[in-house]
Amino acid sequence: MLINDLKTLPEEVQDFIWETMSDVNYTIFDKFSFDFAQFEFFNKLEDDILLKKKNIIDLPKDLEKMPGQFKGDFRELALQMATEIFWPLQEYLGGVDRLILRLGAKVPRAVFLKKKNTTVVDNQLPEVFQGRVKDLMEKYEEFKDLRLTPNKLVNEKGLMVNASVQNWINDYIHFLGAGQHNSLERAVYLSKSPNVLELTDKYRDSLRYLLLSYDEGVELYFNYSQGFLFIEEQPTKKSTDKEAISNKMDFDKFLGAFKNKLTTFQKQLLPSDMIISESQGDINKVRDILWQAIGISDKDKAISCLKLLVERKTLDLMIKEDNRFKNTLKRFIGIKYGQNMERSLAENIDQLIIRRLFLEMILSDKLRLSEEELYVTVFYLTNILPNSGQLIYLDEKDQKFKWRAVQVSGNKFAWVDKI
């Protein structure tokens, strides 16, 4: 689903799509062994139902239009989609219960998405507060769900879970065992846990304070005004009202200018239909068009091809399969990080890092975009699809976008996370 369409949905539906739906989609993809055309059809049908362009009741009939030779049972697929994807959205979509009954199954217990709380209550968690972790978990129901760090965690079952206060505490207990732990044990966890190793110093400090307060009942200062829970021993010194107003005006000016650049950028892109027509409807031939556009430094056409590949979710597959791009990327990695790192392209399991290096190579090294053009382009490409991963971040202090930094760790690449 395009990000502009996503923003038209209710916030609780957007949250469900970001946090849950993509994982369910890939489970279904693996189970029914979709080919590319079938997975594309599946995603489009799902989007049309979410945007209410198609009626949920017609799902089984619509699935029968799937291209190619489907290897599964359409009723089984429809039932899994109904119960795992659309049932939690029953309140928004309506009719999911009737679909489940038509498919011969029992309607599950009602599930209600967590809506944004618009009422003020006595125990509503403020943005800035102080206290002890265990007391706050008892007093404020939402405290345990606050995000402490940007990236998801791998829990004890090997599943990706949100980086919430509760999940970090669960990871801590799983690593060290139940009970209160001393400073030495906490230090071992903070230096050895695979989840912690991905953190920058800023987020590691917040986690350290969280565990200190959890174990020893130390009262600390908490700030959730920026979307992540920052924890400190002492409250951050506040700037004067005049400084705050000046900073906000400068930042608002920067965001306004960036929005204008983004609008101008979008107008320069070629329509996807034009690229599809040139490729004769074959998404794989878009790779050839991209290669030719890069060769003659046709920036607009090359970026338009990248946009289409991102929309069709085939960019990562192209990097993996197409020897022209794969070998060029290997050479780029060898020059920048050393020849011994060229094999990391096949060995690295973090596809997001590969995508980050590929776009840097194409946009910066091959097309030679200016810094301004580069970050507008990357921002646009990484926000076409929800939950696709961040490759750049906004440094509010410097008021500019920057690449997420990559470092060599052993014989593999790893993030130096500055988000």
Tell me the per-residue pLDDT of 35-62, one tens digit each, with 9 for 90 and over: 878 888 988 898 899 889 999 999 999 9
Do 137 and 211 fall into the same domain? Answer: yes
Pick from 16, 7, 228: nearest CA to 114 = 16
What is the helix (H) or strand (E) element at residue 409, kind and residue range? strand 405-409
Share of the chain above pLDDT 90, in %: 33
Do 298 and 219 fall into the same domain? Answer: no
Task: Supply the pLDDT for residue 62.
Answer: 93
Do 177 and 70 fall into the same domain? Answer: no
Do 184 and 305 fall into the same domain? Answer: no
Task: Supply the pLDDT for residue 417.
Answer: 60
Do 179 and 218 fall into the same domain? Answer: yes
Share of the chain above pLDDT 70, in %: 88
Task: Using pLDDT thresholds of 50, 70 and 90, give the confidence band for residue 121.
Answer: very low
List pLDDT tens digits, range 162-184: 899 999 999 999 999 988 888 88
List pLDDT tens digits, range 371-386: 889 989 999 998 888 7
Pick from 224, 162, 151, 226: nearest CA to 15 = 162
Do 300 and 392 fall into the same domain? Answer: yes
Do 285 and 405 fall into the same domain? Answer: yes
Total domains in the fold of the chain: 3
List pLDDT tens digits, range 233-292: 876 555 455 555 555 556 667 777 888 888 888 888 899 889 999 999 999 999 999 999
Show which of 217, 232, 247 is a domain's final residue.
232
d(CA 24, CA 282): 28
Choose between 348 and 335: higher pLDDT.
335
Do 23 and 161 fall into the same domain? Answer: no
Task: Supply the pLDDT for residue 243.
Answer: 55
Do 221 and 186 fall into the same domain? Answer: yes
d(CA 89, CA 75): 20
Report the 10 Å Cβ neighbour count for 15: 15
Q: Which domain holds residue 76?
A: 3-102
Choose between 198 and 295: higher pLDDT.
295
Rounded to an integer, the average pLDDT of 73-78 is 90
In a domain, 113, yes or no: no
In a domain, 86, yes or no: yes
Task: Using pLDDT thresholds of 50, 70 and 90, give the confidence band for residue 419.
Answer: very low
Task: Supply the pLDDT for residue 118.
Answer: 42
Do 81 and 202 fall into the same domain? Answer: no
In a domain, 254, yes or no: no
In a domain, 149, yes or no: yes
Do 319 and 395 fall into the same domain? Answer: yes
Task: Supply the pLDDT for residue 4.
Answer: 59
In a domain, 214, yes or no: yes
Task: Supply the pLDDT for residue 158.
Answer: 86
Task: Supply the pLDDT for residue 247.
Answer: 55
Is the pLDDT reported for residue 302 higher than 90? yes
First CA to last CA across the chain, in angstroms? 25
In a domain, 70, yes or no: yes
Is the pLDDT reported for residue 97 higher than 60? yes
Instruction: Round the average pLDDT of the chain to a whole number and report it.
Output: 84
Show which of 232, 249, 280 is a domain's final residue.
232
In a domain, 60, yes or no: yes
List pLDDT tens digits, range 354-411: 999 999 999 998 999 988 899 899 999 988 887 778 888 877 667 778 888 888 776 7
In a domain, 280, yes or no: yes
- Residues 317, 368, 401, 205, CA torsion sign: positive
Do 132 and 71 fall into the same domain? Answer: no
